[in-house]
Chain A
C-alpha cells in the first residue's frame, strides 16, 4: 500500500466570528479559495493534476451550502478538471478531509489531493443548517444535549472545578500569545486578501494573552440558564442517572472561540511528489475515527487516540507533540488525565480557547500547527485529535520525513 505524504499546509488567520471580526466581510468561498490559491502558489502544482479537492464544512447552508469545495476551487481559478467535494463530520471535518485524502492516496485511487476546510461562523450561523439534532423524535429516541452541557457533565463527573478549567484557559491564552510573539504559526499562515489584493487580515485576532484567572472567573457560565432554567440538564439523566446535578463551569472564556477561517493541505503519493518536484514534509502514519456515547459526546478523542496509536503500533510515549482540540477546556484536560500525558507536550502553542475553532477547518489547521512546531523543534511525530458532535472522535498521526 502506498504511503500518503503531506507536501505543504496553509491556513488563513482566524478572525473573530462576529460582525466586528475582520473576516466578516469576506465570503466563505473566498476564505477557502484564498487558501487554495496560496497553496497552489507555494507548491506550483498544475491544478489539472489535482485528483480531488475535499473540504470540511459544518454548516453547509446559505453561502456555505451546495458543495463549497467545488466552487471554491473554480473561484480560485483552478482547472475544471479538479473536482471538489464537501464533507461534514462536525468538528472533525477538517481532519476528516485530510484523512480521506490520505486514504484515497493510500488506496491508489488518487495521487494528488488537496484537503482542508472552511467555516465562516460570522456569516453562517452554527445550527442554521437545521438537522436531525433539532428533531424531537430523534431527541426522544436518541437522547442528546447541547455540547456545552456535555462538557459541563464531564467536568462534574470528573470533578474539574471552575478554577481548574479557567486555569487551563489562562495557560492556553499564555501559550498562544507566546507562539504569536515568536511567529510560531508563520510558516503556514497566509493572509486573507480582498479582490484588490489588499490584506484584510494577516494574524489570528482572537487571542487575549493578557487575560487572567480573575477576569475569566467573572464570566457567567454559558450553559447554566439552558441547563437549569430550561432544564436541559435533566436530559443527561437518562444516561447518567448518577449525576444528580450538573455543575456549569464552561464559559465563553474557557471554551473554544467562534471564528472564521480556512485551511488547505497538499496530500499525495511519493511518486507524484517526485514527478512534480515536491519535497514531502511528513507522512501520515495512522488515522482513526470512532463513535462514543452521544450524551457525554466529547470524550471521543480518547478512544480515537488509542485506536490511531494502535494502528501505528505506537504508544503515547512515541509521540512528540499532541494537538487536542480545545472545544471546551475539559476536553483536553480529561484527555490528558486518561492518556497520562503531561501538558508540556499538548497544545504547546495554545489552542482553540485562545485561537478559535472554525468548525469545518480546525482539524486541518491543527495539522498545520503541529507540523510547523515539529519542524521548529526538529521533532518527529505528532498526533492531532478532536472531539466531535453526536459523540465521535477522530485522530491522525503524522511523522516528519
Chain B
C-alpha cells in the first residue's frame, strides 16, 4: 500500500521525501518486504534496483529524481534487514547461479555507494549478514541506542563468508585486524558496542532523533564518496600487504587453525579474501569475495551448517511440532526448587533466577550452598553485565538457599540434581513431592537414569519429567527433555515454556537409559578410550577427533567428566544395556582409576596437568595399556593417515549410536538428533550433525562401512535396522 506522500513503492520498499528549505529533497527508502522481515534474495534485488532506478535514473543519470540531495535507507519492519534468504542458500547448488546472485548484489550496492549523493543507513533495528553489508554500502551508519539492535556478520557460523561486500568494506572502514576479529569469528554486537568497534558511526536516542541526525549528516556531506572510491585512500591501521598486515594474517591463520583444526574452511576464506582483495581495486576485490563465497555456498558443509544452525535451531527454539500451552494460558511456574547445590544445581538456580523465577536452592551441606551462592555472584558479574548492580543483586536475591526441606513447600517446579543413584533419588522424590504446590512438576536432571524408573517413586508420574541440562549450565544452550512413560503433554508444554524463559534450546526425547545425548556422548568418549586401549597414540586420537570437527578430543572430555564417574556410570550401564559397552576400553578406564588417574579435577588423567592446565597426554599410558594385555591394533605408520582414520571412527561410533536411538524410539525427530548432538555434546559442527553426516557419506556406503567396522571392531558399529531400511529404499534424512 502506498503511503499518502510516497513517491514510489513496490513489494520491497517505498520512498518518501523530506523537503529541504532550499527546495532539495532527501529520499527515505523504507525497506518493508512482505512478511515481518527484510531479507536479501532475488525479489529484494529486483525491488531495490527499481527503487534506485527511480532515485538515480539510468546509467547516465537520465531520469534522476530532481533535487535529490541524499538517501536514507530505513526499515518499515522491526529489524533493518536480517540478511540473506537462507531458504535460497540452503538449496542453491549451481555455482553459476550463486555467482550471478552475488554479483548482482555487488552491482546494486556499488550503485548505491556511487550515487553521487550521501547515503545513510538508519539502523532502527538489527542489521545482520547481508543486511549489515547493505549498511556498509551506505556512507554513514546511525543506529538506535538500544541493546536490542544487533549488528554484525555471523556468516562463518553457517559455513560461508559475507557475500555482499562485507569482507571488503569492513576492513577498509575499520582496519584489517578489527575487521578480521568480526569476520572470522562471525561476531554480532549490540548497538553500543558496535559503535565502540566502529561498526556504526553514530547512535541516536530515538527513531525521530535518528532521522534528524541522518538528514543533518547528509546536509554536511554533499557529494559524498566512499573512502575507497576517493583519491589517496589509506587503510585504517595500515595496508594489508604491509609488515603489520602480514603479521596479522599469519597469526590469524594460526589462531584460526588452533580453533578449527582445519575442519572449517569459512574462517580461513575470510582471511584469504581480505588479504587478496586488499591488494586489488575495489571492484576486483568484490570479485575475489564473490568467488570464495560461491565456492563455500555450494559446499555440503554450508548446507549442513545452515540447516542445523539456522533451520533446526530455530524450529527447536520455536518448539515446532511440540506440545504447547493452550492459548493465553501460562505455565503456572513461579517458584522453582532446585535440589542439590553442586555445579549443576547451583548453576540451575542462577539460570532460573536470571529468567525471573523465584528459586529455592536446597542442599543438606551448608558449605555447598555457600559455594553455590558465591558462584552465582561470579556468574552474575560475568553474564549480566548489561544489568545495573541493583538488578544483578535482585537476581541473586531471588535465590533462597536453604537446608530445610520445608522451604520447598509451594514450589511449582522442582528440579533435582542430587547424586546419580536411583535409591537416593527415590528417597528425595518421596520426601519432597508432598510439600509441593498442587499440580507441581517434578523434574530430574539425571543424565542417564530412566525417567519412568524414577517416576515409580512419584505420586504424580504424569507430571514427572526429565530435564537434562549440560554443564556448565550457565553457558550450555541445550536442555534435553525426557518424557517418561506417563509424562503428559501439558507437563511437557509447561517445561518447554520454562525452557523458553530460561533461554534454552530444547529437544524432546522418549525415555530409555542414557536417553539420546548421554548415549551418543558415551559412545564418543568410550571409543576414545578404546582406541587408546588398542595401542593407538593418544595424541593422534585427540587430533583425529579435532580434525574431524569434534569440538574437544574424547580423552580431554573424559578427563573433564572424570574417569571415576565414567566408571560408575559404566557399572549402571552394563546393568541397563548389557554387553554392548563391554569393550576393552572400559578395562583401560578402570585401570586408569586404579592408577589414581581420575581426570582433570584430580590433576591426572589421560592428560598430565600442571597448575590445572593440560600439559600433554600422559606418557605413561603406553606402559599401562601394555600391562593390560588387551588385543592390539596395527596403527597406520603415517600419523596423518592414522589420525584421519581415528577421527572417522570416532564420528561413526557416534552415528551408529544415533541410529540405534532412533531405531529404539528414543530419538523422535531428525531435528533433535542434530540439535542435541551439536549443542549438547560438541558433535562436529562442520558436519551439521550426525544425520547430515550420514547423508553426506550416503546411506548405502555408510551401511557397508559400518558393517566392515562392526566386523573389525565390534557390534557397537553395526548399522541399526533403520539405516539398512533407508539405504535399501534410497532414502535420506534430509533432502539433498
Residues 233-265 of chain A, each 1 if its beta carbon lies under 8 Å from chain B, else 0: 111011111111100000000000000000000
Q: Chain A residues with Cβ under 8 A from B540's Cβ?
A: 241-242
Q: Is B381 an interface residue (CB 8 A)?
A: no
Q: Is B400 an interface residue (CB 8 A)?
A: no
Q: Chain A residues with Cβ under 8 A from B261's Cβ?
A: 237
Q: Which of B249, B539, B616 contacts A134 (CB under 8 A)?
A: B249
Do residues B616 and A136 form an inter-chain contact, with CB atoms below 8 A? no
State in angstroms the CA–CA spacing of A139 and B249 once bound together: 10
Q: Is B257 an interface residue (CB 8 A)?
A: yes
State in angstroms the CA–CA spacing of A136 and B252 once bound together: 9
Q: Chain A residues with Cβ under 8 A from B255's Cβ?
A: 230-231
Q: Is B276 an interface residue (CB 8 A)?
A: yes
Do residues A235 and B271 form an inter-chain contact, with CB atoms below 8 A? no
Q: Is A135 an interface residue (CB 8 A)?
A: yes
Given contacts A134-B249, A135-B275, A230-B251, contact A235 B257 (CB under 8 A): yes
Tell me the residues in window 255-282 of chain B with beta carbons closer than 8 Å to chain A beta carbons. 255, 257-258, 261-262, 265, 268, 271-272, 275-276
Minimum C-beta distance from B621 to chain A (A): 13
Do residues B271 and A136 form an inter-chain contact, with CB atoms below 8 A? yes
Q: Chain A residues with Cβ under 8 A from B616's Cβ?
A: 244-245
Q: Is B476 an interface residue (CB 8 A)?
A: no
A239 closest partner in B (C-beta): B640
Tell me the residues in window 226-274 of chain B with beta carbons closer than 8 Å to chain A beta carbons. 241, 246, 249-255, 257-258, 261-262, 265, 268, 271-272
State in angstroms the CA–CA spacing of A256 and B490 once bound together: 75
Q: Chain B residues with Cβ under 8 A from A137's Cβ?
A: 272, 275-276
Q: Which of A136, A233, A242 contacts B639 (CB under 8 A)?
A: A242
Q: Is A103 an interface residue (CB 8 A)?
A: no
Do residues A136 and B268 form an inter-chain contact, with CB atoms below 8 A? yes
State in angstroms the CA–CA spacing of A288 and B255 once bound together: 38
B540 closest partner in A (C-beta): A241
Q: Is B185 an interface residue (CB 8 A)?
A: no
Tell me the residues in window 195-253 of chain A with beta carbons closer than 8 Å to chain B beta carbons. 230-235, 237-245
Q: Is B516 an interface residue (CB 8 A)?
A: no
Minimum C-beta distance from B45 to chain A (A): 29
Given contacts A235-B257, A237-B261, A244-B616, contact A134 B272 (CB under 8 A): no
Do residues A234 and B275 form an inter-chain contact, with CB atoms below 8 A? no
Do residues B257 and A238 form an inter-chain contact, with CB atoms below 8 A? yes
Interface size on A, residues (CB 8 A): 24
**What is the count of residue pairs linking A and B with beta-carbon distances less than 8 angstroms?**
72
Q: Which of B258, B265, B537, B539 contacts A234 (CB under 8 A)?
A: B258
Given contacts A232-B250, A234-B254, contact A242 B276 (CB under 8 A): no
Q: Is B643 an interface residue (CB 8 A)?
A: yes
Q: Chain A residues with Cβ under 8 A from B48's Cβ?
A: none
Do residues A237 and B253 form an inter-chain contact, with CB atoms below 8 A? no
State in angstroms the CA–CA spacing of A280 and B540 once bound together: 56
Q: Is B617 an interface residue (CB 8 A)?
A: yes
Q: Chain A residues with Cβ under 8 A from B543's Cβ?
A: 237, 241
State in angstroms the CA–CA spacing of A315 and B241 once bound together: 47
Tell me the residues in window 43-85 of chain A with beta carbons closer than 8 Å to chain B beta carbons. none
Do residues A231 and B262 form an inter-chain contact, with CB atoms below 8 A? no
Given contacts A136-B272, A137-B272, A238-B257, contact A244 B539 (CB under 8 A): yes
> For chain B, which range describes its interface: under 10, 10 to 19, 20 to 34, or 35 or more residues?
20 to 34
Residues 536-549 of chain B, each 1 if its beta carbon lies under 8 Å from chain A, else 0: 01011001100100
Q: Chain B residues with Cβ under 8 A from A242's Cβ?
A: 537, 539-540, 639
State in angstroms the CA–CA spacing of A362 and B272 once bound together: 34
Q: Is A25 an interface residue (CB 8 A)?
A: no
Q: Which of A136, A240, A243 contacts B253 (CB under 8 A)?
A: A136
B270 closest partner in A (C-beta): A136
Q: Is A130 an interface residue (CB 8 A)?
A: yes
State in angstroms the CA–CA spacing of A232 and B257 once bound together: 9
Do residues B254 and A240 form an inter-chain contact, with CB atoms below 8 A? no
B616 closest partner in A (C-beta): A244
State in angstroms the CA–CA spacing of A244 and B258 once bound together: 12
Given contacts A139-B253, A140-B268, contact A238 B262 (CB under 8 A): yes
Minimum C-beta distance from A127 to chain B (A): 8
State in angstroms the CA–CA spacing of A230 and B537 once bound together: 27
State in angstroms the CA–CA spacing of A235 and B268 once bound together: 13
Minimum C-beta distance from B192 to chain A (A): 30
Q: Which of A134, A234, A243 contacts B257 (CB under 8 A)?
A: A234
Minimum C-beta distance from A62 to chain B (A): 14
Do residues A232 and B276 form an inter-chain contact, with CB atoms below 8 A? no
Q: Chain B residues with Cβ under 8 A from A234's Cβ?
A: 254, 257-258
Q: Chain B residues with Cβ under 8 A from A243's Cβ?
A: 539
State in angstroms the CA–CA spacing of A140 and B251 once bound together: 13
Minimum C-beta distance from A158 to chain B (A): 15
A245 closest partner in B (C-beta): B616
Q: Which of B251, B254, B265, B639 contacts A241 (CB under 8 A)?
A: B639
Tell me the residues in window 134-161 of chain A with beta carbons closer than 8 Å to chain B beta carbons. 134-137, 139-140, 146
Minimum C-beta distance from A59 to chain B (A): 14
State in angstroms the CA–CA spacing of A130 and B643 once bound together: 34
Q: Chain A residues with Cβ under 8 A from B241's Cβ?
A: 130
Q: Chain A residues with Cβ under 8 A from B262's Cβ?
A: 238
Q: Chain B residues with Cβ under 8 A from A238's Cβ?
A: 257, 262, 547, 640
Q: Chain A residues with Cβ under 8 A from B643's Cβ?
A: 241
A139 closest partner in B (C-beta): B253
A149 closest partner in B (C-beta): B254
Minimum C-beta distance from B270 to chain A (A): 9
State in angstroms the CA–CA spacing of A238 and B257 once bound together: 9
Given contacts A130-B241, A241-B540, A242-B539, contact A235 B275 (CB under 8 A): no
State in angstroms the CA–CA spacing of A231 and B251 once bound together: 7
Tell me the residues in window 281-314 of chain A with beta carbons closer than 8 Å to chain B beta carbons. none
Do residues B253 and A235 form an inter-chain contact, with CB atoms below 8 A? yes
Name the residue among B252, B254, B265, B547 with the largest chain A CB count within 10 angstroms: B254
Do residues A230 and B254 form an inter-chain contact, with CB atoms below 8 A? yes
Q: Chain B residues with Cβ under 8 A from A240's Cβ?
A: 639
Q: Chain B residues with Cβ under 8 A from A139's Cβ?
A: 250, 253
State in angstroms the CA–CA spacing of A237 and B261 once bound together: 8
Q: Chain A residues with Cβ under 8 A from B249's Cβ?
A: 134, 136
Q: Chain B residues with Cβ under 8 A from A146's Cβ?
A: 250
Q: Chain B residues with Cβ under 8 A from A130's Cβ?
A: 241
Q: Chain B residues with Cβ under 8 A from A244's Cβ?
A: 539, 616-617
Q: Chain A residues with Cβ under 8 A from B537's Cβ?
A: 242
Do residues B275 and A232 form an inter-chain contact, with CB atoms below 8 A? no
Minimum C-beta distance from B25 to chain A (A): 46
Q: Chain A residues with Cβ under 8 A from B268's Cβ?
A: 136, 140
Q: Chain B residues with Cβ under 8 A from A134's Cβ?
A: 246, 249-250
Q: Chain B residues with Cβ under 8 A from A241's Cβ?
A: 539-540, 543-544, 547, 639-640, 643
Can you list 18 residue pairs at the A/B interface with Cβ under 8 Å? A127-B246, A134-B250, A135-B276, A136-B253, A137-B275, A139-B253, A140-B265, A140-B268, A230-B255, A233-B254, A235-B257, A237-B543, A238-B262, A238-B640, A241-B539, A241-B540, A241-B640, A242-B540
Top 6 A-B pairs, shortest CB-CB distance: A241-B543, A230-B251, A234-B258, A231-B254, A137-B272, A232-B254
**Told that A230-B250, A241-B639 touch, could you supply 15 new A-B pairs with CB distance under 8 A?**
A134-B250, A135-B275, A139-B250, A146-B250, A230-B254, A231-B257, A232-B250, A232-B254, A234-B257, A237-B257, A237-B543, A238-B257, A241-B640, A241-B643, A243-B539
- Residues of A in contact with B (beta carbons under 8 Å apart): 127, 130, 134-137, 139-140, 146, 230-235, 237-245
